[in-house]
Structure 1
Amino acid sequence: MAITLVTLLDAGEYITALPKKEHAAADWQAAMEARILVAEGGGSTLFARIGIMRALNAGKPAPPFRATAEAGEGLSAGAVKNATRKSSWWTST
């Protein structure tokens, strides 16, 4: 069942409705704090969204890295090669 969180109020109600053990987890507490800061401070809702997404995906493996974007709008082959090559400051001597 997919749930749609549209407003900061929706997000807050979703978080408070979680089981107590899950609601008390650090990820959800950080998401709630970010939501409150955005609501009270009038900042960008992107911060609250990031907090919610991190909490929703906690414990799940990260998606694989894709070096190029869709429709050919991405890094050139040379840029990908350079980005994946270890620089001298990455390696220890």
Structure 2
Amino acid sequence: MTVVLDQRNGPEPDVSVVEASAATGLEQTHFKADDVLLAVEVVSPDSEARDREAKPHKYATAGIPHFWLVEMTGTDQHPVVRVYELDPVTKAYALT
């Protein structure tokens, strides 16, 4: 589902956790950034830079408090989840 960050940015995280009060019904097509508690991106080869850099930066700038990055690592390709929390002073994510 689209997350409206500002007039020009409406990315679609792979997973979003939102405030329960933000869900209005099956016809809903987007959430406001203020309603999103967690955005999750799963890194894929065709969108690697976007998933690792562009989207997290946009989510942080919009004030989304938590961000998870999921990717396969190592030669055996095990999934790894990196958990980030928004630093309210710098408006950037810090690895927890």
TM-score normalised according to structure 1 size = 0.26
Q: Which has the higher contact order (CA 8 A, sep 6+)?
A: 2
Larger Rg: 1
User: Which protein is richer in helix relative to its size?
Assistant: 1
